[in-house]
Structure 1
Amino acid sequence: MEDEDMSQEPLQQELSCPVCTRFFEDPYLLPCSHSFCKDCLDKTSQRHRKCPVCRAVFNEGDAVPNRALSNASEVYRRQLDWRRGYERPGADICRIHLKPLELFCEKDEEPVCVDCVIQHQTHTLWPLRTATSLCQKQLTDKVEILERKKESYKKMTHKLSSTVEYIKHQAQQAENQIKAEFQRLRELLNKEELLRLKAVETEGEQKIAVAEKLNARTKAHIVALTELIDNVKKEQGNEELTFLLNFKNLKNKAQWMHEDPRLPEDSLLNMASHVGSLSFKIWKDMQSHVKYYPVVLDPSTACPWLSLSDDLTSMKESSERLTSPDNPERFDPCVFVLGAEGYTSGKLKWDVAVGDSTKWIVGVCKESLARKKKFTVSTTRGVWSICLSKGMYYALTPERTELQVQPRPKRIRIRLNVDKGEVSFWDGENEKHLITFTHKFSEKMFPIFGPGLCSEPMILVPGKMAVHTS
């Protein structure tokens, strides 16, 4: 600001009268090129006709009006007045026309003076008081919007804090289940280890007993052979006639009628049965202690009115609303839960045990199915399903197709062929076909379950496992 003032001082001096040192008022130009206010020049010329600056003599009538200097001085003075007024609080002077700001342009949202009207001919102009009221109203509306947004943010912080606590609970629950399952498997492995070590020990004891028995018999034969050899050698030392008289009898005694000792077949441990493909055999034996489920439930999608089992394979409606985060994937208020995995290709099959429940829905749905509002379950909504309601079985088409089902199924089988665009429903116990839907699936498809208001849970049935070797 100081630099600006310094740059303005020479200009102000050029536009000021050398006599009165004020801005020129009706300046006149002398032949010597110096200019003065008319009043200042008149007062000076009454005494003598000399230029007050260079003292050059001039005649009456030589001075002429300096219009350019007059205009420049007036413009600079007005700009200087505006600048001084603009820097003061509450200044209301137009920067262009240096006139009071008395109107407000609604389109450009700025105050203008009366001379600015021509530049805003197509705009709506308001008196300042009216404009102030309108602008205050707009800002009040915006403040109300911001207040509501602030409140929503406060609610979100509470929701996020609850979500953090829920995630901690989930992590602890998952940790406990993982530890428990690994402990169970470790106990099974320890038991399997003991059984296999016992089998090795038992077979080893049996094989050792056989070998030791054979060894003891062989040693006894050695003693007998030693005694026989000694007797024969002693008889051989007799006189010729005595030796020959006993030769026949001695020859018969020198016979060994026992079998030669030899290791029997299968005398060693069957190592192949104990350690051959050991890990595979252990894994194969473990199958009887584990279950495979083609589909498990996704708790992140479960309606707060649904209670899921810890292993995510069964569900039932809760008597009271459970505490769970309002995450985007979760159904609420509709009482549904999805399978944990979605499918864009392939063939799949899973069974659901519905038991004696009097109301349920099972099927598949598209990923974009609405989660946060009530809707009528139908193929037009992206759900291909069947249901039991009021003792009747229906395919949930727009007009509801009644299904003739006899006897009442305890288990429903769903077959999904995404590539072919088919989903079919069967009685899972007798393989009786119920209905098939056809549709070109353009989204990821998920199993969907609605157990209804029943005390009996809806349970996912384990799939069969088979070991294929080649």
Structure 2
Amino acid sequence: MSAANSLLSEAQFLCSICLDVFTDPVSTPCGHNFCKNCISEHWNVNYRCRCPNCQEVFPKRPDLKVNTFINEIVSQFRKSAQWNANRSSLVKQVAKQGEVPCDVCTGTRLRALKSCLLCMVSYCETHLEPHLTVSGLKRHQLINPVENLEARMCTKHDKPLELFCKSDQTCVCTHCPVLDHKTHVVVPLKVEYEVKKAELGKTDTKIQQMIQKRQQKIHEFKHSLKVSQENAYMEVAEGVRVFTSLKESVERGLSELIDGIQKGQRKTEKWTEGFIKEVEQEISKLKKRSSEVKEISRSEDHILLLQSFPSLKDIPPTKDWTGVSIPPASYKGTVMKAVAQLEKTLSEKMKKLLVEAELKRVQQYAVDVTLDFLTAHPELMLSLDRKQVRQGHVKKLLPDNPERFSHYNFVLGEQSFSSGRFYFQVQVKNKPKWNLGVVRESINRKGEIKMRPEVGFWTIWLRNENQYKALDDPPVVLSLQSRPEKVGVFVDYEEGLVSFYDVDAAALIYSFTGCCFTEKLYPFFSPCRNEGARNFDPLVICPVT
């Protein structure tokens, strides 16, 4: 029968009306099978007795009887299906490696669902049933299944470990406090469990915090590595650019050296060829006279010889070549001069390239600077975007607040900096005079002001179109190769450095070094007063490109 069942499926035993396995199967005259109740109800509802499957109509309602053969097959199929389901469930419940087996099961041991601390036995689902239904067993303490339940028994008194000795920090049974732990502090296991659980919760919280800190540190390390990689890439690219430029300068110097030597050699060759040609021409004349003399000398015509003698007796005029010589060209000094010139060129080139690289580096710290209305002298005019400032025609009536400059036409940036590095650049084009730099927060803003580092000013200025000065102590007159149209200002707060750059020429103008910053620093601007409308152009804070 089991072999037959293996060939049958549930679909073969389904009633087409209720779509469930047959119950009291009956057969209609047309040969189709239905549950007896299903087909009876179907015909009770419908006017005609029709087969639901083939639609055959029966003139008289058939007298249906249970098909004992099909009923027996269905019964066997139900038993087989139930057995397979029970077997599948049983297989799923068999204890696997690492799982606690039931201590009651014989033969195949099923997986334990609970362990009883009083019985000291682990139970599967079936054998656990009494502990869930019998009132006396319901009071037993059940826990998730554990192995080695003997370890939960007191080795001295053979009693379950139900108490905790706080003095010895160990689990004890109910007899231990009376015999071995008389003066000790003993509490129920559950009480100490909650205490220790709370402590473990705190420990876990600390561990999670430590994990988060270390994960954050890993994030910082990865970020630092990424920045380092980007910096390395940029430095390599900059190194390639610098060394390529130097290499081109060397190749250009070598090409100029070779070209100069070749030009000198061609000049010597041309000079020598001219002398040779001239000498060859004289030789040709002398050979011609010699031939004429020999020819007339061989003649026996006395009259012809005498008549020709006056024109043949003198040697044709020639140049005295005794002191004429062409010394071999020497290029010994040429190479040395070329190397010296190349060294000078490379030195200037390297200096320029290094400044260019330095300028690119500091421009990475560019910040968005805007002008602060509250600090602006009343004569100054600020643009709506607060990126430009120029000298106005009239002095505005503004509140003389503590931040405002009252004597000199100065204005500060709105942003302050108390650490790190920052850079900004300002267009000074077409202005015969201006002041730029940074100042500390506590500078004097009223009356006469002495602009020096000791009072909090690190600035440079231009006067009379070409007179540049760094207002250091003492002031330093600056000699610039070109007139800057755009000035970059860079500050390294911790390094104590303030540097000014000619942005377009990529040249360093001046650096204040060894500064000691202890306060907030603010960008500082002064377009200076007009000189017959010659200084009306504004100072413009420019974006870094």
Please, what TM-score do these two structures have when normalized by structure 1? 0.44
Q: Taking structure 2 as the reference length, what is the TM-score of the superposition?
A: 0.39
Whose relative contact order is higher, 1 or 2, with alpha carbons under 8 Å and at least 6 apart?
1
